[in-house]
Every structure is written in structure tokens, then in C-alpha cells.
Amino acid sequence: MEKIRISSLAKELGVKSSLLIDKCHERGLTHITHHANTLVPEQAEMIRQLFQPSTKVTPAEEPKVKETVPPPIVEQKKEVKTVPQAGNVVKVVQPNKVVTVHRGSAPAQKQVVRVTPVKSYWKKKHPPSNISPKRREHLEEVAEVKKPIIKEKETKVIMESPITVKDLSSKLGIRANEIITKLLLEHNIRVTINQILKEDIVHLLGIEYGIEIEIRKREVVEEHNFIAEQVSTKVEDMVHRAPIVTFLGHVDHGKTSLLDSIRQTDVAAGEIGGITQHIGAYKVEMNGKHVVFLDTPGHEAFTAMRARGANITDVVVLVVAADDGVMPQTEEALNHAKAANVPIVVAVNKIDKPGANPMRVKQQLAGLDLIPEEWGGKTQFVETSAITKKGIDTLLERLLLESEILELKANPKNPARGVVLEAHLSEGRGVVASILIQDGTLHQGDIILCGKTFGRARLMTNERGIDLKEAGPAIPVSVSDFSEVPEAGDKFFVVNDIQKAREIAQERQKKERETSLMKFQHVTLDSLYSRIAEGKVKEIKVILKADYKGSVEVLKKALEGLSTPEIKVKILHCGVGGITESDVLLADASDAFVIGFYVTTEDKARILAEEKGVEVRLYKIIYDATNEIKAAMEGMLEPETKEVVLGQIEIRLVYNISKIGNVAGCYVKSGKITRNASVRLIRDSIIIYDGKLESLKIVKDDVREVRAGHECGIKIANYDDIKVGDIVEAYEVQKIARTLTG
């Protein structure tokens, strides 16, 4: 049996050896890798059959070839070079390619011949009979043509709000750049890929792309969905709880000192400037009963913190100094208590001081609808003294009486819930929050959901620093291990599933970010003028860091409250903790300065601030911070201008000097005229010209000023139309520094 080389077979068929090698691989002859490899006769015949449609034909058989081969296709232009042979030959090298056709001795002609592909050919024609059954089955499988699966275009999609350009692009299968360009060119709407689109714009885009878009509200897992099931309101489980009492009043009226007397401590001495900087919560026992006291800061800047204290309290003690009377912050505190709709007990403090007049205090408060019981009203007044301890027991009795009237109850079997009083970063403990439990019992290790943060109550301590394993209703505790610093005033709940707590916290964070993005507004014709005007407004840019979240809120509000129509205080960033390198870098990039309240600057941040020239100010008293910012703002105010008339002179002679112009000989009628003064030329009581002097002389000498009763010569700069009898009025514009209140 004589074998045939690949190169010889390729020459016989008029094709390249590489093509034959590929065909051999398609037919399972994987050992053929080189043109020198050989094939047995059966294998060679199988390969010849693959090229059967392009074998030699006679002129008489040409119509049969035309039956197999479709008419020429003119759109194909590519030429494939073939090997010419004698006689009438049609050589097809590749399907649907241009080939060279030889008709006897006639010149070669180029013609496009469509040849059915091998796989399709085997689908239409049965394989040759001389192929084994196994090989026949393989060829039939190879010849099977798979139809492409065409996915129908969706006509309706469902999306959850909010929807960004990126979300819409992914859902519709349209490039984000195309959507952005379409909105800009066709609707004059500028958007970015992560910007949230309004629902009407989403529907409009859906109509234009031929897709109906149904927008559904995102299902948010909230705490009430799984907390309500845990709360029990059974009467047999309810117990009396201690009243939560808040001390409110004007600064330096003795709130903290009075509270010190009640709980026999000395907190006021430890406060900087004698002013309470943070909310404190303390539990006091009297005759077997407990009272929880909240001591809110007394400075007027802490309005929000006092309001928060009034909203979580059961009874408010309004402290008024007997020697000072009702002050602005007293009225403010009273309004917070009324807004919270809680009972009010008035403590007329400092009764031991000379000049104390409790009657005047009662009269002033009566004018504010706070009528004493002895005058037929409902408000209890107690005269107290933090120094002599007078009235302390009476005040506690009144507070317990009020709590009995309120019938305060809680269920210690419930999961704990309450309010965050304060939160800060503590070295070694991480995030620490002071919380007040309003209902239920908090156990060590409980999962807590609080606003946009969550965590476990790994370490609990009371106000004296004693570790606790659990804490019941109306007990203030300090808890650590939150994921981030919670907001003061946030409500907290104990939940069973930490994964659900994480989901809710993350959803709230996302919602807050989306809300901030939605605040962006495009420029309209109505707002264009105001935007231009705002471009002239000066700004003081501040980065604010403080030790407690409440302090951050208060300082931010106090500083922003200093803004005027001309100068605005803009807080670029605020947070809890020390001043870091990132704070300094932000200040450097934004041309801002850093304010730290009761915090320190890290060493690296201090060195970086010196290198960048960033100013870092540290304060321990809020007065100092606000006063210095106020002074800086006053320095940025445009000064007031005031025009002061210096004197009047009369032109009596006019001289024309070549190359100089007209020079006036004058007489000073009143006041004086100075060399640097501005002047007005007045003729018939009408101002003809307003400008500056070019020269002022007496005879030939230059002088700085000439007073009334003397003669002088003047030259008005860039003006020569002067006449005898004209009056020249000298004046100057004085700039007067302004204040924020001025």
C-alpha cells in the first residue's frame, strides 16, 4: 500500500499544504503536522472528497457545475491566486472567493464562484459510501449547523429609585455616554454618570428609547419591622421607673452647682471657665427612690443641646438666679420646655446672695405664663441655694411628686431603647457613646442599632466609671464599640440580627448621600443673577474638629450664625477627634484654616501645617473661638467711606503755559487745600469736573497745603477748561472700619 505525502496531494489538488493539514485535523487526523507527513490511500481519498465540488470537469459537464455553483456574486472583489493547469479548469481555493478560470488556451478570466461550505455540504449531501459508519456519524455531527439564538428586545423594565445614569445604562443596555449626550443636546440637561435622575426624566428617556420603565420605591428594612415584635406592653411586666429631670436656665445661674449639691460632687470646678461644655447624666437616690438628672450646657450657643435635653426628659427644672432675674437664655430654655410639653419646676437659686429678690423672679415668670401655685397657677417654685443647701430636699420631693403624677412606667423585659446623649472617640476604647435607656434592659454584648451606625455593647460603665453587666430603664450608661461616631440625639434600639442592623445603617448612610446629591440645582434664568451676585460674597472657610459630637454641632451652628450678607462662614468639614494630616491637606487645598475645640494636633499634622503654612487654632472656650472669627470677619468687611470737605478756593487768574496747560491763580476762601486732595470744579453751583491736583504752589515753591486767607497756584490734572470765578472744592474720602453689628 503506497502512502501519499501531504505535499504531493496538495500539488495534485492545487491547494496549499497548510490547508490540507487543517482539513486533516478537522477529520481527526491529528498526527498530520507537516507537509512531509503521509496519508494512506483511504485517508487521501477522504481528503479528496472534501474538494470534490472543485474537481476537474469537461465542457459537456459544465452545466452540472452550474447546478451546484450559484451565479457569480459581484460584490466580492478579493483575488485569490491559483495554479494554472491545461484544459478547461475551474479551480476553487476557498468558498465565496475570486478564482482564476482557464478555458482551454483562452486567456485567464476572473470570476466569483460561491461554493457551499463543507459543513453545509455534508448537511445537504450524504457522505460517500466508502466511509466507515463511525466516520459517517462524526461527519454528520460536524455538519450540523446551529442556529443563532436572537434575544428579543425588552419592552418593559422595572427599576428601583433612586436611579442614576449608570443604573439606567446598565438596565437598558445603552452606553452611559450616549444617555449623557442625549440629555445635554436634546434636553439641555447636564448630568454625570453617578447623578440621580428625576423620575420624569427617566420616563422620558424610556419613551425615547421605546422601553417602558416602571419605577418602584426601594424596600427599606427599618427597625420597626422587627423591633415591634420584640416589645411587650403587658401590664404585669410594667414597673415604675425613675423620672428623667433636665436642668435648664441662663449661663452662670447655678445649674451645675445646684446639681453638685444634689449628688454631692464637684463638677463645675472641673469645667473650663466654669461653664458646662457637654451633657451629663447622673442618677441620684432619695428615700429609696431614684431620680436621673441631665445637666445641659448653659452657654447660649448650646441651644440645640438644651432642646435635645428637653425632648427626652420627663420634668424640667428651670433655674433662675434670685439676684439676676429672668435673662434671654431663661426665656429660651422655657420655650424649649414648653415645646417638649413637659412639667416645669422653677428653682429660684442663689437665694443666699445679697440683693436676692425671689418675688421679682415670680413676677417676671408670671409674665411668661408661668404662674406660681400660690398665685393660683400650676407651677411649683422652690427657693434654693447651692451654697447653704437650702431647699434641696424640697426640690427633690417636688420632683418625685411630679413623677408620681406622671405615672412613669417601663418594661425591663423588653430590649433596650433610648437616646444618645453624647458620643466621642476615645483612645484605647474607640467610639464611646453616652446613652440614656428609656425602656427595656441593655445587656453586655447586645447588638445596638443607632442612626447610621451599629455595634455591640461590649463595655458598659455608669457615670462613676463602674463596669456594668446590664442596665435597666432610666439608667445613663457609657457604651463602646460602635462602627462610627453616632449623632447626639439619635435613637438607639437593641436588635437580634447584626446583619439587619448593618443593612439598615448602610441604607441610612446611602440615603443621606443621595439626599445631599439631590440638593444640587442647575442654573436657571431666575437664579442666574443671584449666582453672579454670590460670586462677590467673601467666605471664611473653616475645618472644625472637636472632642464631642455635640460640641461639633454647637460650634458649627455658632460659627455659621456669624455669617452676614457680605461675608459667610463656610464649614468645609467637621468631625470628632484630633486634627490629622488629612485635615491639614484639605485646608491647604481649600485655602481654609483649622479650628480645634478641646483637641490636640497630631505631630505629623503639626509639621505638615508648618510646611504648608496652614493656620491651626486651638480653643478650650467657645467664646474665644467665636470672638476671633468675628474679629476676622470684621477685618474682611468693606470699610465705610465718608467724604470730608477740606476747603474751598476761588480762581482769580488763569495763565496758559506752553507744554503745561492752564494754571489758576487762586485764593483760599475757607478751610485748606492739600496737595493730595481730590478736587471738584464748580461753576454756577454745578460740578463741572471731579479729579485730582497735579501741582500746588505758593509763588514758585511746591507746598503740601495752603490754608484759608492765603493765595496759591494750582494745576488740575488732565483738565484745562477753567475760568475766572470758578470755585475749586478740596475734599478727601475717609474709610471707617465697620463691625458686624455696625
CA angle 490, 493, 498 (to 5 degrees): 115
Whether residue 254 is annotated as binding a ligand: the answer is: yes
DSSP state, residue 418 = E
Are 499 and 438 spatial neighbours (Cβ–Cβ below 8 Å)?
no
Q: Sign of the C-alpha dihedral, residues 34, 38, 42, 45?
A: positive
Phi, psi dihedral angles at 251 (to 5 degrees): -65, 140
What's the burial of 551, exposed, middle or buried (CB within 10 Å: 0-12/13-18/19+)? buried
Whether residue 351 is annotated as binding a ligand: the answer is: yes
What's the burial of 489, exposed, middle or buried (CB within 10 Å: 0-12/13-18/19+)? buried
Whether residue 424 is annotated as binding a ligand: the answer is: no
Q: Sign of the C-alpha dihedral, residues 76, 81, 84, 90?
A: negative
Q: How far is CA 264 from CA 259, 268, 278, 294, 434, in A?
A: 8, 12, 19, 15, 21
Q: Which three cell numbers stand for residue 434?
A: 453616652
Q: Say how far apart CA 653 and CA 568 lie, in whole Å.
A: 55
The H helix count followed by the E strand count for the chain is: 21, 39
Q: Say how far apart CA 364 and CA 10 lie, in whole Å.
A: 118
The letter for the amino acid at 432 is: V
Q: How far is CA 583 from CA 285, 424, 577, 579, 580, in A?
A: 45, 18, 11, 6, 5
DSSP element (H, E) containing 421: strand 417-426
Whether residue 325 is annotated as binding a ligand: the answer is: no
Whether residue 296 is annotated as binding a ligand: the answer is: yes
**Neighbour tally for 102: CB within 10 Å:** 18
Q: What is the rounded (10 degree) CA torsion for 260, 265, 267, 270?
A: 140
Whether residue 298 is annotated as binding a ligand: the answer is: yes
Whether residue 251 is annotated as binding a ligand: the answer is: yes
Whether residue 671 is annotated as binding a ligand: the answer is: no
Cis? peptide before 162, omega within 30° of 0: yes
Whether residue 350 is annotated as binding a ligand: the answer is: yes
Are 484 and 575 spatial neighbours (Cβ–Cβ below 8 Å)?
no
Strands (E), 499-590: 538-546, 567-576
- The number of CA neighbours under 13 Å toward the Cβ of 246 is 28
Name the one residue in this structure whose C-alpha cell is 477522504: 46
Are 173 and 155 spatial neighbours (Cβ–Cβ below 8 Å)?
no
Q: Say how far apart CA 68 and CA 84 lie, in whole Å.
A: 22
Whether residue 31 is annotated as binding a ligand: the answer is: no
Q: Say how far apart CA 128 and CA 520 lie, in whole Å.
A: 75
Q: Say how far apart CA 205 and CA 297 lie, in whole Å.
A: 54
Query: In 3D, which of 263, 387, 327 has the Cα closest to residue 319?
Result: 327
Whether residue 352 is annotated as binding a ligand: the answer is: yes
Whether residue 250 is annotated as binding a ligand: the answer is: yes
Name the one residue in this structure whose C-alpha cell is 443621595: 514
Cis? peptide before 107, omega within 30° of 0: no
Beta bridge partners of 431: 425
DSSP element (H, E) containing 417: strand 417-426
Query: In 3D, which of 163, 345, 110 has the Cα closest to residue 243?
Result: 345
Whether residue 389 is annotated as binding a ligand: the answer is: no
Whether residue 355 is annotated as binding a ligand: the answer is: no
Whether residue 367 is annotated as binding a ligand: the answer is: no
**Neighbour tally for 721: CB within 10 Å:** 11
Q: Say how far apart CA 739 and CA 393 lie, in whole Å.
A: 49
Name the one residue in this structure whose C-alpha cell is 459544465: 62
Q: Say how far apart CA 663 and CA 661 lie, in whole Å.
A: 6
Q: Which three cell numbers stand for residue 306?
A: 438644651
Q: Which three cell numbers stand for residue 390?
A: 437650702
CA angle 360, 361, 362 (to 5 degrees): 90
Query: In 3D, which of 549, 312, 582 has the Cα closest to residue 433?
Result: 549
Q: Which residues contact 442 (CB under 8 A, 6 or more apart)?
A: 416, 448, 457, 460, 470, 471, 477, 479, 494
Q: Say how far apart CA 617 and CA 594 lie, in whole Å.
A: 6
Sequence ranges of the binding site for GTP: 249-256, 295-299, 349-352
Sequence ranges of the binding site: 249-256, 295-299, 349-352
